[in-house]
Amino acid sequence: MEIGFIGLGIMGRPMAQNIARAGHALHLYARRPESLAPFEGKATIHASAALVGSHADIVITIVADAPDVEAVALGPDGVAAGARAAGRSDLILIDMSTIAPPAARGIATRLAEAGVTMLDAPVSGGEPGAIHGTLTIMVGGPQPEFERALPVLQAMGRSVTLIGPTGAGQVAKACNQILTGAGVAAVAEAFNLARAHGVDPANVRTALMGGMARSAILDNHGNRMIARNFKPGFKSWMHQKDLRIVLEEAHRLGLGLPLAAAVAQMFNAMQGAGMAEEDSVAMLKLYERLSGVE
Amino acid sequence: MEIGFIGLGIMGRPMAQNIARAGHALHLYARRPESLAPFEGKATIHASAALVGSHADIVITIVADAPDVEAVALGPDGVAAGARAAGRSDLILIDMSTIAPPAARGIATRLAEAGVTMLDAPVSGGEPGAIHGTLTIMVGGPQPEFERALPVLQAMGRSVTLIGPTGAGQVAKACNQILTGAGVAAVAEAFNLARAHGVDPANVRTALMGGMARSAILDNHGNRMIARNFKPGFKSWMHQKDLRIVLEEAHRLGLGLPLAAAVAQMFNAMQGAGMAEEDSVAMLKLYERLSGVE
């Protein structure tokens, strides 16, 4: 298929490379030309998102936040404008950014008016998952377009699930960020309690992985806390942003989510402590400071 | 070996049965004679904990809280008194109750003065783990006694780990209760967010089990939340008690554990809401009420 891809960042670049590897033709546009360098000779480079929309069967976007998706999808030089100019009515736009569910629904509605069907398909699994094509992809949108897009999604992810209608992918991602954020904080609290008792957290991790407390976070992030490896991974400012979405939804819908709120405060404090570019696991250091450990 | 067992409750009864099944001779004492009925003809019944201490090589206790352990281990008719009366100096007492680490250390010190070595060996895995002999057992104490006790511990558990010196087993259990408590609360918050969006939590669970949010709690407890099966399992008042220990240790040691504190409040509220005898997963109902769902 002819696949457009916009957003060649840490995640997007390897994801696009996996699509090319699966045998699809790539159509690219990037604001910053240096993002395109790795694709020289392997993709058709376009001068605008609109031209990508004119040439592709499916366009994938993965950008920072909702206004960026809006600009790329619905702006005057955006994907929808290009699809319309080319007289197309079967274009699918898969937005893989993490944005708020209502924002996703609003953009999907406006795209539908332009004849473009949107799937919201945020991902989990970080840079390693993007590189190895093992992402978890949570999809919202109509079933027929999901099925058309499935081969392309499977080129990037190991676990691809249609969660429900438009916005449901973003809801599942919000759930994912509650669980992973609370998981990191809980492991950091447990390890800090062990340390304060003079007990080796490595032994605690090994024992607990044999029981009901076992989790991918205790396994992976726990291991990195023990090794004191705070390199991303997944930068803490991005997790902070995702929990802002969760708490805005909690506010809007009238939900009491005290745990998510407590975790969000820890991510806020990480930003203030100069840990924005470090991985979420650096939260352990914050807990140590909070306990008087320098 | 001659194994004493005191505390034939929901957990203790199947644990003692697994010890007998592994070929050890059981010596039992119980305050309530009805607890002994399943062991009629399969164990030596004694009239006091002291007499169990006189006859066994290893005595196991699993009772509700620290004062109960103290009474059984150090009381006038307790295990240590019996060991002393029999002139024994090689008795091991394995306390598998969940109590505070300093309480475990204090009891171990007083037992050592009476010539009895204590291992603290709290468990995780609930009634099913006790029945199937698949408990996670977290042990604190000296290595030689751990090794002597290992065959007996392995009759009850699948994962048996020496965490560190006396008290370290209780520290690991406290860590376990932070992780499982925060895990249940985080899953309940995520599912409540999904429900408020009209998104099926079952689809969210399936998708998230394929990624970094996967955990035994999302798998097992998530499944029971979806099935609305709130039967214990592990009664919420027991988890509340375990988090009280965590927060008392946080207070004593000067540790800031905001997540554990938030989870403890949810367990407190479960007691007030009449959910004491329900499983921890019933916390989902509390979150729903907190969001105006009846």
Closest chain A residue to B210, measured at CA: A159
Contacts of A216 in chain B (CB under 8 A): 211-215
Question: How many angstroms separate the CA atoms of B254 and B78, rounded?
Answer: 35
Is A216 in Cβ contact with B211 (below 8 Å)? yes
pLDDT at B68: 97
In this predicted structure, what is the pLDDT of residue A290? Answer: 87
Report the distance separating Cα A281 and Cα A223, nearest Å.
10
Beta-strand pair B135-140/B123-124 = antiparallel
Contacts of B233 (CB under 8 A, 6+ apart): B126, B127, B224, B279, B280, B281
Q: What is the ipTM of this complex?
A: 0.96
| Per-residue pLDDT at B85 exceeds 80 | yes
Cβ pair B212:A125 closer than 8 A: yes
Q: Which helix (H) or strand (E) holds B66?
A: helix B66-74
Given pLDDT bands bounded at 50, 70 and 90, which one contains residue A233?
confident
Place of tokens 């105006």: B292
Query: Residue A232's pLDDT is what?
Result: 86
Q: How far is A83 from chain B, CA to nearest CA, in Å? A: 31
Helix (H) or strand (E) run with residue A239 in it: helix A236-253
- In this prediction, residue A291 carries a pLDDT of 87
Q: What is the mean pLDDT of residues A212-236?
A: 96
What integer is the mean pLDDT of B38-42? 94
> Which CATH architecture fits A171-291?
Orthogonal Bundle (1.10)
Closest-CA distance of chain A to residue B179, Å: 6
Query: What's the average model confidence in pLDDT over A65-86?
Result: 97
d(CA B120, CA B294): 43
Q: For residues B18 and B160, give the distance between their C-alpha atoms in angstroms, rounded to a whole number.
A: 15
Average pLDDT, chain B: 97
Nearest-angstrom CA–CA distance, B52 and B28? 7
* Mean pLDDT, range B74-88, rounded to an integer: 97
Q: Which fold has domain A2-165?
A: Rossmann fold (3.40.50)
Q: What is the pLDDT of residue B272?
A: 97
pLDDT in tens, A144-196: 999 999 999 999 999 999 999 999 999 999 999 999 999 999 999 999 999 99
Say yes or no to pLDDT of B79 above 90.
yes
Chain B partners of A210 at a C-beta cutoff of 8 Å?
136, 158-159, 161
Contact B203 A253 (CB under 8 A): no
CA angle B4, B246, A246 (to 5 degrees): 130
Identify the pLDDT of residue B292. Answer: 84
Report the residue of chain B nearest A217, measured CA to CA.
B212
Choose the closest CB to B212 out of A124, A162, A290. A124
- Taking 90 as the threshold, does the pLDDT of residue B86 lie above it? yes
Per-residue model confidence (pLDDT) at position A236: 96
* Residue in B191, B207, B214 closest to A216 by CB: B214
Domain range summary for chain B, segments of one domain joined by +: 2-165, 171-291
- Which stretches within A35-100 are classed as H helix? 49-55, 66-74, 79-85
Question: If you measure CA to CA, which chain B residue comes closest to A163?
Answer: B203
Q: What are phi and psi of B163, to 5 degrees?
A: -80, -40
pLDDT, averaged across chain A? 97
Contact assignment for A101 to B197 by CB distance below 8 Å: yes
Flag whether pLDDT at A271 surpasses 90.
Answer: yes
List the single residue in B213, B253, B262 with the smallest CB-CB distance to A124.
B213
Cβ A36 vs Cβ A45: under 8 Å: yes
Residue B288: other Cβ atoms inside 10 A = 17
Interval B203-262: pLDDT, tens = 999 999 999 999 999 999 999 999 999 998 889 999 999 999 999 999 999 999 999 999
Question: Cβ–Cβ of B191/A206 closer than 8 Å?
Answer: no
For residue A235, indicate whether it is catalytic: no
With CA atoms as reference, the chain A residue closest to B246 would be: A193
Question: What's the confidence (pLDDT) of residue A279?
Answer: 96
pLDDT score of B293: 83
Question: Which residues in chain B touch residue A257, judged by CB atoms under 8 angstroms apart?
Answer: 189, 192-193, 287
Beta strands A123-124; A58-61: pairing state: unpaired
The answer, yes or no, to whether residue B174 has pLDDT greater than 90, is: yes
Q: How long a stretch of residues is chain A?
A: 294
pLDDT > 90: percent of chain B: 96
Which of B178, B203, B216 lies nearest to residue A189, judging by beta carbons? B178
Confidence of residue A293 (pLDDT cuts 50, 70, 90): confident
Tell me the pLDDT tens digit for each residue of B110-131: 999 999 999 999 999 988 999 9
Helical (H) or strand (E) element with A162: strand A157-164
Q: For residue B267, what pLDDT is reported?
A: 98
